[in-house]
Amino acid sequence: EAGVAQSPRYKIIEKRQSVAFWCNPISGHATLYWYQQILGQGPKLLIQFQNNGVVDDSQLPKDRFSAERLKGVDSTLKIQPAKLEDSAVYLCASSSRLAGGPGDTQYFGPGTRLTVL
Amino acid sequence: DAKTTQPTSMDCAEGRAANLPCNHSTISGNEYVYWYRQIHSQGPQYIIHGLKNNETNEMASLIITEDRKSSTLILPHATLRDTAVYYCIVRVANSGNTPLVFGKGTRLSVIA
């Protein structure tokens, strides 16, 4: 089966510009996550969707970051305006819901590497 | 914050077993131990998970101590392609789709 797709793979912008990332999860996966990974650290959750609803966005800097998942499939993550500290890899992951199972396996995309100058 | 402690880095000779330790002394009874790895320029990849019994799959074995306060991921015959950062994560079971809380992981270097 096809994996999680993300685009673009790389993006370089100047501070105060805006940028958007796109994610297409594995077909049929109801849950979608966006993680931010700063160099040298593990990924950190930004937002979690269940179908097209937000489950957890407590870690999302809402003054500049926004995300949506229209129709419960693809998702976009936007940053406006970008700051230097937003330089990171943005990872999208998806998972299916296994009722009664021990959680689920999250499948990650390759990520988008953002550099803010 | 991550509830696990892992060594920052480890080396392993190619063809030998790689044993990656993880401490999770505050693990709760309903939390599983998950292992993911991240190869350079890729997203994290699921390896294995377990509750209290030892687990084995085509990628690795997971050994969990009887008190569940620590575990070891074993790659039986490490290859150069196993060079990656390995993350040990504890996660509540049967809670629907909860996010993964990553620490800094262990950087494993497999040496020819």
- One-character DSSP codes across chain B: ----B--SEEEEETTSPEEEEEE-TT--TTEEEEEEEE-TTS--EEEEEESSS-EE-SS-EEEE-TTSSEEEEEETT--GGG-EEEEEEEEESSSSSPPP-----EEEEEE-
Of A3-7, B88-92, B93-97, the poorest mean pLDDT is in B93-97
Do B97 and A95 lie within an 8 Å CB cutoff? Answer: yes
Any CB–CB contact under 8 A between B92 and chain A? yes
Which of B36, B37, B100, B106 to mutate to test binding with chain A, by most A CBs within 10 Å of its CB? B100
Q: What is the pLDDT of residue A100?
A: 39
Tokens of B15: 């063809």
Q: What is the pLDDT of residue A102?
A: 53
> What tens digit of pLDDT does each residue of B17-43 get?
999 999 999 999 888 999 999 999 999
* B112 Cβ contact list (under 8 Å, min separation 6): B14, B80
Q: Is A64 helix (H, G, I), strand (E, B) or coil?
A: coil
Give contacts of A101 with chain B, Cβ < 8 Å.
Answer: 94
Output the CA–CA distances (angstroms, integers) from residue B109 to A89, A110, B6, B60, B106, in the order listed: 22, 21, 15, 16, 10
Do A105 and B46 lie within an 8 Å CB cutoff? Answer: yes
- Whether residue B104 contacts residue B89, with contact meaning beta carbons closer than 8 Å, is answered with no
Q: How far apart are CA A19 and CA B37, in angstroms?
A: 28
- In chain B, % of residues over pLDDT 90: 80
